[in-house]
């Protein structure tokens, strides 16, 4: 990474640290996706769930409520986020049934036991859908499922401003149909998918407002840091104008039993 890239990453981490929500999503959308899982998926006593790229643990806590007998392991690369998730889990009285480890979502050494379910909200883009899914197949029991969110083009319309923004921010972004094809090519059977509501985006953006205000004051005499901070605001402007062209899609798929 170049120095500007590192600065933008540092500002992005600082913007989100201590926040309960790190990306578009909601408890309601997590619950909806969970409800689409196969009824016979083993998630009772002795079952294991992996929350890969768990961030500060918003969906981890929801999964713990939805699967009260399963063991849940969150994996998070950023130490400050992992530490905050661990604090929230402890405060909820969920340890040791629910825990967090620092590391990559494709770090084999972290995955000691195979899981019935792999969950990942707003995180698979860090390694790419294909890379993530191919690695995760080795972490699942036969017949296990994955559920993940991924920013996706919703149709053929791709306005120039949105296209320019995402070409710079995430050039690997694909359409829903292309992502479904990738899921199938990785050996999974697509199960269901749905688009997160617009409210899931704006609840996230509103959640960041206190951090924006604090960091603008903190870096008032640092034009480079302010520029990195404002680049994150650009995302909001693009989404406000073009939310009909792209969104976060929740994808669910299962791996064959044999």
Q: What is the mean pLDDT of residues 163-174?
A: 94
CA–CA distance from 4 to each of 8, 11, 49 (Å)?
6, 10, 37
Annotated domain spans of the chain: 20-197+244-254
Which residues, 6+ apart, have CB-to-CB distance to 249 below 8 Å? 149, 150, 151, 152, 154, 176, 179, 193, 194, 195, 196
pTM above threshold 0.85: yes
Closest CA to 134 of 169, 64, 182: 182
As a whole number of Å, the CA-based R_g of the chain is 18
CATH of 20-197+244-254, one of 3.40.50.150, 3.40.190.10, 3.40.1310.30, 3.40.50.2300: 3.40.50.150
pLDDT of residue 144 exceeding 90, the answer is: yes
Q: Cβ of 48: how many Cβ atoms within 10 Å?
A: 23
* Ordered DSSP codes for 15-81: HHTT-S--SS--HHHHHHHHHTS-TTS--STT-EEEEET-TTSHHHHHHHHHSTTSEEEEEESSHHH
Q: What is the mean pLDDT of residues 94-116?
A: 90
- Per-residue pLDDT at 103: 93
pLDDT of residue 99 exceeding 80, the answer is: yes
Give the pLDDT band of residue 1 (cuts 50, 70, 90): very low
- Per-residue pLDDT at 242: 97
pLDDT of residue 243 exceeding 70, the answer is: yes
């Amino acid at each position: 990474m170049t120095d500007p890239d590192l600065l933008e990453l540092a500002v992005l981490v600082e913007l989100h640290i201590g926040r309960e929500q790190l990306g578009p999503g909601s408890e309601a959308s997590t619950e909806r996706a969970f409800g689409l899982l196969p009824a016979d998926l083993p998630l009772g006593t002795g079952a294991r769930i992996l929350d890969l790229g768990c961030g500060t643990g918003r969906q981890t806590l929801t999964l713990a409520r939805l699967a009260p007998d399963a063991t849940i392991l969150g994996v998070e690369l950023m130490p400050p986020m992992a530490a905050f998730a661990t604090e929230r889990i402890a405060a909820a009285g969920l340890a040791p049934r629910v825990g967090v480890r620092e590391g990559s979502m494709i770090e084999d050494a972290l995955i000691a036991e195979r899981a019935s379910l792999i969950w990942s909200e707003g995180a698979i883009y860090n390694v790419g859908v294909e890379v993530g899914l191919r690695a995760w197949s080795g972490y699942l029991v036969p017949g296990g499922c994955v559920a993940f969110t991924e920013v996706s083009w919703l149709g053929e319309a791709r306005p120039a401003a949105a296209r320019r923004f995402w070409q710079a921010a995430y050039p690997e972004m694909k359409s829903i149909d292309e992502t479904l094809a990738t899921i199938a090519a990785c050996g999974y059977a697509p199960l269901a998918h749905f688009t997160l509501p617009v409210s899931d985006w704006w609840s996230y953006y509103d959640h960041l407002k206190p951090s924006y205000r604090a960091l603008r004051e903190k870096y008032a005499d640092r034009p480079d840091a302010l520029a990195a901070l404002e680049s994150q605001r650009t995302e909001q402007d693009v989404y406000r104008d073009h939310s009909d062209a792209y969104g976060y899609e929740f994808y669910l798929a299962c791996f064959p039993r044999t």
